[in-house]
């Protein structure tokens, strides 16, 4: 799929079509808008809106040491993640966001996921600036400070690290090689840059480092501390439950890893979005509303069968699903950061 993305990117620049928007619309309607959690849907909508109606031209929204630090244009920290070079750039990023967002928002809760996206969007840009500044001083090459990055995939790399942290184990095929999920982001980091040298290796690396700061460093504790000040008045009790828990949900879920790893699967097509139930409560149903007692692999297989049946295909075509988290998408994290010279 990395090769496919590069081919799409090159062809799209030549013909200037809106194929990416059509593919993204098909992806959204195939899932069903009601089945996409609200924060994920709002983030996707914001990216699409700013692609159609950009706040500024790309050269005035991309992030570089020269523009942000030297010229003090710090607004680029907020603008650069949500602008994209072309429609295929947008499509691959947003398709990746759909699956990562569905998994993480249902696990963490909408409020915390929105908080996470906000912090990652800004912090990925800051880490990017620090890395480029460091490279400029170490190599004495000022070109690193001039490289301008734009796109959401730095944030997506960070979300991939967090998603693998909350859903450990498993493996996926990347370029024909079976790679454990814990190492997949590092392999993709290198392969994407090899397949498409115009992408920002440093931008993607910044996203991975931010994800590691959250999963193994102090970032998560710092975020909880800051959120505690906001919720200390007691007006946001549901979110505060999350801040005092082990990180499985914002709504009082028990600390059960199997429950925490349940993935979003529609029990029926067209079922509306609902927050997860607290199984510890007397009024909770005996099964999670989306699992129906099935294992994670069985849930994904059922969803694939339903999807293929809707398109008039046979369920016998369901083959080759290696890792459930992103196998339905059958694509890799796109190369969101683009360099402008």
Structure tokens at 304: 């694939």
The yes-or-no answer on residue 167 being catalytic is no
Burial 7-43 (b: 16+ CB within 10 A, else e): ebbeebeeeeeeebbebbeebbeebeeebbbebbbeb
Contact call for residues 217 and 28 (beta carbons, < 8 A): no
Instruction: Give the Cα separation of 56 and 50 in Å (integer).
Output: 9
User: What pairs with residue 177 in β-bridges?
Assistant: 174
165 has catalytic annotation: no
Distance CA 45, CA 39 (A): 10
Alpha-carbon torsion angle 46, 48, 50, 54, nearest 10: 180
Q: Exactly one of 89, 167, 204, 288 is catalytic; name it.
A: 204
Report the candidate in 37, 77, 75, 14 with the shortest Cα–Cα distance to residue 203.
77
Residue 209: left (phi > 0), alpha (psi -120 to 50), or beta?
A: alpha
The single residue of 64, 153, 200, 335 carrying the catalytic annotation is 153
Contacts of 84 (CB under 8 A, 6+ apart): 47, 51, 90, 93, 150, 151, 152, 336
Question: How many Å from the N-terminal Cα to the C-terminal Cα in the chain?
Answer: 27
Token match 């046979």: residue? 314
Spatial CB neighbours of 53, under 8 Å, sequence gap ≥ 6: none
The answer to whether the beta carbons of residues 196 and 9 sit under 8 Å apart is yes
Bridge partners, 179 (sequence order): 172
d(CA 274, CA 288): 11
> What residues are annotated to the active site?
153, 204
């Amino acid at each position: 799929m990395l090769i496919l993305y590069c081919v799409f990117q090159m062809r799209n620049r030549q013909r200037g079509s809106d194929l990416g928007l059509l593919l993204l619309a098909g992806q959204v309607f195939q899932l069903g808008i009601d089945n996409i959690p609200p924060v994920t849907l709002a983030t996707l909508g914001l990216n699409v809106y700013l692609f159609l109606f950009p706040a500024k031209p790309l050269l005035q929204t991309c992030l570089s040491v020269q523009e942000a630090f030297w010229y003090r244009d710090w607004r680029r920290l907020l603008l650069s993640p949500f602008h994209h070079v072309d429609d295929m750039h947008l499509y691959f990023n947003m398709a990746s966001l759909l699956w990562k967002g569905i998994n993480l928002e249902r696990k963490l809760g909408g409020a915390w996921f929105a908080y996470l996206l906000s912090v990652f969007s800004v912090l990925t840009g800051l880490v990017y600036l620090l890395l480029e500044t460091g490279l400029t001083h170490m190599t004495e090459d000022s070109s690193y400070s001039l490289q301008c990055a734009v796109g959401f995939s730095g944030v997506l790399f960070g979300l991939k690290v967090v998603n693998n942290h909350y859903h450990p184990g498993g493996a996926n095929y990347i370029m024909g090689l079976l790679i454990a999920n814990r190492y997949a982001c590092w392999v993709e980091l290198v392969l994407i840059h090899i397949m498409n040298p115009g992408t920002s290796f440093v931008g993607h690396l910044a996203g991975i480092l931010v994800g590691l700061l959250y999963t193994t460093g102090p970032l998560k504790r710092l975020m909880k501390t800051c959120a505690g000040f906001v919720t200390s008045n007691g007006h946001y009790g549901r979110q505060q439950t999350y801040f005092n828990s082990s990180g499985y949900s914002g709504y009082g879920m028990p600390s059960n890893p199997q429950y925490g790893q349940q993935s979003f699967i529609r029990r029926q097509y067209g079922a509306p979005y609902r927050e997860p139930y607290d199984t510890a409560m007397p009024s909770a149903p005996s099964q999670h509303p989306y699992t129906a007692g099935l294992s994670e692999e069985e849930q994904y297989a059922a969803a694939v069968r339903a999807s293929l049946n809707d398109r008039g295909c046979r369920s016998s075509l369901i083959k080759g699903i290696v890792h459930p988290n992103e196998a339905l998408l059958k694509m890799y994290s796109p190369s969101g950061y683009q360099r402008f010279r």
